[in-house]
Amino acid sequence: MKQFQAFIKKEFYHIFRDVRTIMLIIGIPVIQILIIGFAVSTDVKHVKTAVYDPSNDISTQQIIQRLDASEYFDVVAMLRSPADIDRLFKEGTITFAVVFSAHFNDDLYHNEGAAGKARNGAVGAAVQLIADASDPNQGAVATSYAAGIIADYQQELMLSSPPLRGWAGGGVIIPQVQMLYNPEMQSSYNFVPGLMGLVFILICAMMTSIAIVREKETGTMTVLLASPMKPIYIVIAKMVPYFIISWIILLIILLMSVYVLHVPIVGNLLWLNVFSLVYIIVSLALGLLISTLVNTQVAAMLASGMGLMMPFMILSGMLFPVESMPPVLQWVSCIIPARWYIVGVRKIMIEGGGVQHIQTEMAILVGMAVVIIGVSLSKFKTRLE
């Protein structure tokens, strides 16, 4: 029995001897529970909305105020021309737009006249709800919320006692829904960009970190450092194969997306490749950074697999809209490279945006790559000396 107890103590000693490993084992589940508990929500909130209101009457103003006052919509732009809508969608400034008819108030209050019928083709006042359906769930939910707010406003008009002045009693507000970029509401339009971001993290960060740590764990890294080659070239040599493999996988994913999943590449294919290669470099740099922080392959797998994959899936906007998360997690999501990559891929691949529409995302990923590579190389050299 004493021998058995001694073996148990020895195992605990080996576990707690590697402080970083035990911190990962305990810390990762705690962090994941906190992230999932606060970030996982199917609600769609704070949808960035633009409004085009040529009539500018009391009815449209009241509807706009109700939309902006709700927790679901943030009116960020009042448009002078409907031609601005497509540009704001591609820039990522908005994900929803409301367009009122030119004679909304007249059509609503005096709709029984021939003029109201001629303008709308039906009795009532028209309002167009335009949603970015590259994320079909978010587009459908946002449209449903807006239609509900408009229906509540109309119900109050109908039940007002005494009836509002000029109300004919039979007028209705007619929402006209338009889903941009994904009119058929195919879910593949949403998960393909997210899948690309996740795959590259698994291949680049996990495989690179494990490959480098394996060399240190087995002692062969010392042999490599004894060679005439500089340490930086040794590290780059470890990363290049995964860079090439990731680029090949990128081409395979794009081909499967177009010919198997029928997700079109609307934008420039060259810029989609360039943008993806920048993200792959960031992922490789993360793997290098992890390899400088841990000493065992198990720890590298935990850090790059569980430590990165879950936050990347939850906080990147791949599964849940970032705007619906608490402000603290929205700030945290800003340091998740996959968030910017997924947004950029959607802009190019689904929305047909050009390089001018992904300047912010490209600059952020390039900055992340420079910082992470710089920190990783400095720590890597220090640890190997």
What would the DSSP string read from start to end of 294-346? Answer: -SSHHHHHIIIIIHHHHHHHHHSSSSS-GGGS-HHHHHHHTT-HHHHHHHHHI
Extract the tokens encoding 196.
């690309």
Please report the pLDDT score of residue 163 as a whole number.
52
DSSP code string of 7-50: HHHHHHHHHHHSHHHHHHHHHHHHHHHHHHHHH------SEEEE
* Per-residue model confidence (pLDDT) at position 134: 85
Integer Cα distance of 150 and 105 in angstroms: 14
CA 208 to CA 290: how far, in whole Å? Answer: 9
What is the C-alpha to C-alpha distance for residues 298 and 326, in angstroms, rounded to an integer?
33
Could you tell me the two tokens for 210?
């494990």
Kindly provide the residue ranges of all beta strands, DSSP E only, lying in the chain, ordered along the sequence: 47-52, 73-79, 96-100, 125-132, 173-180
Rounded Cα distance, 372 and 286, in Å? 7
pLDDT at 382: 46
| pLDDT for res 154 | 86
How far is Cα 371 from Cα 364, in angstroms, rounded to an integer? Answer: 11
* The predicted structure's pLDDT at residue 273: 93
pLDDT tens for each residue of the chain, 385 residues long: 777 677 677 767 766 777 766 676 677 667 666 666 555 566 788 899 999 999 888 889 999 999 999 989 999 999 988 889 988 998 888 999 999 988 888 777 765 444 444 454 555 688 999 999 888 888 899 999 999 999 999 888 777 644 554 444 556 788 999 998 888 888 888 888 888 888 888 788 888 888 888 777 777 766 666 666 676 777 777 788 888 888 888 899 899 888 888 888 888 999 999 999 999 999 998 988 888 888 777 778 777 776 777 778 878 887 778 877 888 888 888 999 999 999 999 999 988 888 888 999 999 999 999 999 888 888 765 454 4
Predicted TM-score (pTM) of this structure: 0.77
The pLDDT of residue 227: 67
Cβ-contact 241, 211 below 8 angstroms:
no
Distance CA 257, CA 207 (A): 24
Alpha-carbon Rg for the chain in angstroms:
27
**Residue 14 is which amino acid?**
H
C-alpha to C-alpha distance for 146 and 325, rounded to whole angstroms: 20
Directed axis angle between helix 231-259 and helix 207-218, to 10°?
150
Beta bridge partners of 127: 100, 175
Which residues lie across from 48 on neighbouring strands? 74
| Residue among 385, 336, 378 nearest 361 (CA) | 336
8 Å CB contact between 51 and 325? no
Gap between the Cα atoms of 45 and 326, Å rounded: 10
